[in-house]
Chain A
Amino acid sequence: MARRPGTGYLGVVVRRGSTRGLDWRLGPAESGLLGHLAYSQRLTVRSRTERNWLGPSPSWAPQADLFSPRSSHSGGKLTLLCDAKTDGSFLVHHFLSFYLKANCKVCFVALIQSFSHYSIVGQKLGVSLTMARERGQLVFLEGLKSAVDVVFQAQKEPHPLQFLREANAGNLKPLFEFVREALKPIDSGEARWTYPVLLVDDLSVLLSLGMGAVAVLDFIHYCRATVCWELKGNMVVLVHDSGDAEDEENDILLNGLSHQSHLILRAEGLATGFCRDVHGQLRILWRRPSQPTVHRDQSFTYQYKIQDKSVSFFAKGMSPAVL
């Protein structure tokens, strides 16, 4: 059931004549709302006139003139997942299971939880991470386990999380090399997988581990260049919004990524506090629409409730508990 990612469609059930508005299920079905969001738009790469961020050392810079101005290559997309005052990990689980079902090659940099956690939730959503890893579809970097290896044993070859051993954390180049190695197309002739996808959960942890916001933005920049532009794949990253905690580095990271991303999914807790029936609110923001005649930056807001195996969305105020 290999579905080409460009042909996602929107599965929306609109009940005519009812007051319930839009009500659909987000789950193992291929016709997910977020699936449509992931693939519906083509984009043009914006020109970059800034110089190479890494200064005069082009040793690990990708090919020159990567971003030629006025280039109209249709590349992949960067989706930014953001959560404020709530847990947005259900979005990560959704995208992981979605891309695996769409037969994409996925590189998952999981920094916050262990493999078995994602695997068990993935089974509920209908994918088997174990099988995907065995047949090479999924490359999984387990941050917690690798951190223990890096900190307690000297590594011979450069490790993706090498920066944990260094006193002054430099850059995330080894991590970028790992991603590039994982997603590079195999020259075996037959194309087993469709598009490559990079999933990062979550980027705010890199700030806690000593990296600066600029270093993380550099990493994302290079990943975008490789994954989105060169390999025509997609990227999904999760960043926490610290809100009023005055985390400047996190704000820099979040703002920088918001400007670069094409789709922003923001999961927020309700402003009035905890509710048993409505777990939060999801704001969907499209940036850079394809046609200039359409509204710029379309935005939708839905409230959601997470269930055991799926998430149900409804319009604001239309929770089944209230109606």
Chain B
Amino acid sequence: MAAAATCGSVAASTGSAVATASKNNVTSFQRRGRRASGTNDSGPRLVSITGTRPSVRNGQLLVSTGLPALDQLLGGGLAVGTVLLIEEDKYNIYSPLLFKYFLAEGIVNGHTLLVASAKEDPANILQELPAPLLDDKCKKEFDEDVYNHKTPESNIKMKIAWRYQLLPKMEQIGPVSSSRFGHYYDASKRMPQELIEASNWHGFFLPEKISSTLKVEPCSLTPGYTKLLQFIQNIIYEEGFDGSNPQKKQRNILRIGIQNLGSPLWGDDICCAENGGNSHSLTKFLYVLRGLLRTSLSACIITMPTHLIQNKAIIARVTTLSDIVVGLESFIGSERETNPLYKDYHGLIHIRQIPRLNNLICDESDVKDLAFKLKRKLFTIEAEVQKGVSTATFLLDGPRKKLFPCLFQLLEVACIPWLMASSSVFKASNIGLSPYVTNSLVFFLLLSFTFKDPCNYIGRT
């Protein structure tokens, strides 16, 4: 596709906006990878920023959210210039984790951070970031988390569908270097102090800023939001993220993290009253924030306690005004904690909205029932397992009693179903399954030949 060919060169550059493009005789075939405001660029520069990659679908510049599984569900990553809104779980246990993963990813990639909070000092938040998994010797500990401890051998080779071993797994497990796109983090360890000190970060702690006298423009936002917007705009302008400073050769991404937006600590009363006086403050803030992000090289993560907002209309408006909305629902305290279906997981994760940027369609994942679990060191996201048929995980864990459902899942996710099925039938007989199982398997496989596309009928839509 022409898009793929051009996106590598152009999307990585900080393509100028229309104004300069028209001056520089840029043809209409050039795909703009960034929405940076007009600069004095003399055409596209092949500047690649660490920690970003262009999207294969529309050439958009993407950054990682810190969780490779979430990146995959969002269609490759978080697009630069967009807002990721995380609807907090009820007791605010897991959403700070996602927040910290985002910031930790920024530190590992060398991006500039802007942390805003009304509850905790940003310096304390940065002290609690998870440590990245950077060495090979951590891989063994990592494998212990992934595989069941009943099967001591790691890296079980696939005995039946041996061709599927060549396909990439859902989560890329392997040694991590800083040039990769998404990194893994160890939630039980802290980020080394020298990494934090080497990074460039700005903190906005509301109780400190509200007393100082910044130039306050008349606006109908609550003072906390106004000050935060001005702070963000100052940082973007002074450090040249919007392209206003042409002397800066090395372009970087600004990662903005705003914690507990909309809570009463920010001076907003949408969580307290149904029809408060400032009911438009939050939505206006989001709109202006998105305007700032669209004209600069930045990405933003916001956690919001939407379960506290009394007025459901505001939640709907906030969802429309954000680009990506991810909702977390933890099982703590709910009846689902004792539900055997969910015994392996800590909560559900709902991808409520994915933006359609520069495109008519978006990369929606087919799997809608996703659950997360916080293992000893990792935060993983998986499709819900229902009666042994898992629709998204490729990893074959080994125990033989799971063999039959594994074949089911291989058939339904395969794009070349009948071609592979014939070889897999022969392999099944080698293992020595009971003849009944083998016969039913063969029968089923033969049946599958008659359908045009078995994936659509077996898989859940």
Show the binding face of A for B, using Cβ within 8 Å. Answer: 87, 89-90, 93, 112, 114-117, 119-121, 123-124, 128, 130-131, 133-134, 143-148, 151-152, 154, 164-169, 204-205, 207-210, 240, 242, 245-250, 273-277, 279, 306-309, 311, 321
A145 touches B295 (CB 8 A): yes
A167 touches B220 (CB 8 A): yes
Known: A93-B360, A144-B294, A208-B317. A116 touches B35 (CB 8 A): yes
A158 to chain B, nearest CB (A): 15
Report how far A167 CA is from B280 CA in the complex, Å: 10
Known: A144-B294, A246-B313. A208 touches B360 (CB 8 A): no
B283 touches A166 (CB 8 A): no
**Contact flags B310-334 to A (C-beta < 8 A → 1, else 0):** 0011011100110000000000000
B380 within 8 Å of A (CB atoms)? no
A131 touches B284 (CB 8 A): no
Show the binding face of B for A, using Cβ within 8 Å. Answer: 17-18, 21-22, 28, 31-32, 35, 58, 217-220, 229-230, 233, 280, 283-284, 287-288, 290-292, 294-295, 312-313, 315-317, 320-321, 356-361, 364, 366, 368, 453, 456, 461
Known: A210-B220, A245-B315. A307 touches B361 (CB 8 A): yes
Report how far A75 CA is from B313 CA in the complex, Å: 36
Chain B CB count within 10 A is highest, among A146, A147, A167, for A147
B361 touches A130 (CB 8 A): no
Contacts of A124 in B (CB 8 A): 359-360
A276 touches B219 (CB 8 A): no
Contacts of B58 in A (CB 8 A): 120
B218 touches A242 (CB 8 A): no
Known: A208-B280, A240-B320, A247-B313. A116 touches B17 (CB 8 A): yes
Known: A165-B218, A245-B315. A145 touches B320 (CB 8 A): no
Contacting B288 at CB < 8 Å: which of A115, A147, A277?
A147
Contacts of A273 in B (CB 8 A): 368
Contacts of B21 in A (CB 8 A): 130
Report how far A274 CA is from B295 CA in the complex, Å: 33
B320 touches A205 (CB 8 A): yes
Contacts of B357 in A (CB 8 A): 117
Report how far A318 CA is from B189 CA in the complex, Å: 55
A81 to chain B, nearest CB (A): 15
Contacting B284 at CB < 8 Å: which of A120, A133, A209, A245?
A209
Contacting A151 at CB < 8 Å: which of B18, B28, B229?
B229
B321 touches A205 (CB 8 A): yes
Chain B CB count within 10 A is highest, among A145, A154, A169, for A145
Beyond the given pairs A144-B287, A246-B312, 4 more chain A to chain B contacts, judged by CB atoms under 8 angstroms and listed by A's residue number, are: A147-B288, A151-B288, A208-B317, A276-B456
Closest to B353 in A: A87
B364 touches A321 (CB 8 A): no
Known: A148-B291, A274-B368. A131 touches B461 (CB 8 A): no
A306 touches B361 (CB 8 A): yes
